[in-house]
Amino acid sequence: MVRAVEEYLKPEVVRQIARLDLRAQFIVRGFLQGLHASPYQGFSVEFSEHRKYAPGDDPKDIDWLVYAKTDKHYVKKFEAETNITGYLVIDTSASMAYAYRRQLTKLDYSISLAAALCWLMVHQQDPCGLMVFDDRLHASLPARSRRSQIAQVLSVLATIRPSGRTDVARSLVQVAAMLRHRSLVMVFSDLLADPAPVKDALLRLRHRGHDVILFHVLDEAEVTFPFAGMVELTEPEAGDKLVVDADAARKAYVDAVRDFREDYRRTCFQAGVDYVPLDTGMQFDKALMEYLVSRRNRF
């Protein structure tokens, strides 16, 4: 898949795609191994019917409520829905470039997770597309399910560089206007913007019938505030600077971040949006499991 785009790209970009390709496969492999015998059925499945238990069926699929009523063993049968179309929507603004102690910035982390999700979707024949934004949408790929789509998505992800200011709300409104059919919209952002219009934009997506997963990606240091003494903090998009006593400010800061996340969690729950709080210190397979658990709880 990577070779399919090599002839069109510079060698350094091809190397970046290859690294991202391997990382995505590594994440997916670890995630799938971690599932073990969990009831994972994919992105787009629905309960179909019962059928009699047959040798070779997994005993975990037996419906014990039916057994209690009938004294017979039946298993739940699942079938794929019409393939759901997914879009990876990634914030590439300047604040996503931040990293304190970790090798990966917030954008790097989001890109790696998005690449793995693209792998999962395409390999189960669900179309997957891509949109990237800062203060507006500035690149997109239509959703497709063929295997070459992975290389196309990776080729865009490998060339993304964080810059510009954030306008999450405006960008999500643009996403809603572009989507003509019910889709699964997976948003990756640090959400460092006024929450009110962002929430309104999320509601607009939901009101149009889209499933929405909000991956709230922060740097580990933005969550734990590990600084000490007098430190100078710089706002990455406006460049404003502020000197603070880190020890004195830590509790209030950590409480504010917790409240910030909790406010989004509560709003998303009420709107039927999956909210997945992440930080760059979390393992990727755990991040994917958070996604899966949140989605399973919705259905």
Domain with residue 29: its CATH number is 3.40.50.410
pLDDT of residue 63: 72
pLDDT at position 7 over 70: no
The Cα–Cα gap between 171 and 163 comes to 15
pLDDT of residue 250: 93
| Residue 53 and residue 88 share a domain | no
* Predicted confidence (pLDDT) per residue in 190-217, tens digit: 999 999 999 999 999 999 999 899 999 9
Q: Which of 26-30, 63-67, 126-130, 263-267 has the lowest mean pLDDT?
A: 26-30
Q: Which of 78-82, 160-164, 232-236 has the lowest mean pLDDT?
A: 78-82
Instruction: Find tokens 């069926």 and name the residue.
Output: 57
Instruction: Note whether residue 38 is domain-resident.
Output: no
pLDDT of residue 186: 93
| Residue 158 and residue 93 share a domain | yes
3-class DSSP assignment, residue 127:
coil
pLDDT band at residue 123 under the 50/70/90 scheme: confident
Instruction: Note whether residue 42 is domain-resident.
Output: no
Q: Tell me the two tokens of residue 48.
A: 């179909």
pLDDT band at residue 47 under the 50/70/90 scheme: very low
Question: Which structural domain, as residue segments, surrounds residue 269?
Answer: 3-33+84-298
| Residue 88 and residue 64 share a domain | no
Q: Tell me, letter by letter, the H, E, C secondary structure of 63-109.
A: CHHHHHHHCCCEEEEEEECCCCEEEEEEECCHHHHCCCCCCCCHHHH
Q: Going by DSSP bridges, is the β-strand pair 137-144/128-133 parallel, antiparallel, or unpaired?
A: antiparallel
pLDDT at position 136 over 90: yes
pLDDT of residue 71: 73
pLDDT band at residue 57 under the 50/70/90 scheme: low
Instruction: Note whether residue 279 is domain-resident.
Output: yes
Mean pLDDT to the nearest integer, 226-250: 87
pLDDT of residue 90: 98
pLDDT of residue 8: 41
| Residue 251 and residue 122 share a domain | yes
| Residue 145 and residue 76 share a domain | no
Domain count, the chain: 2
- Round the average pLDDT of the chain to a whole number and report it: 81
The Cα–Cα gap between 132 and 116 comes to 16
**Which residues 6+ apart lie within 8 Å of 152 measured at CB?**
5, 141, 144
pLDDT band at residue 75 under the 50/70/90 scheme: low
pLDDT at position 144 over 80: yes
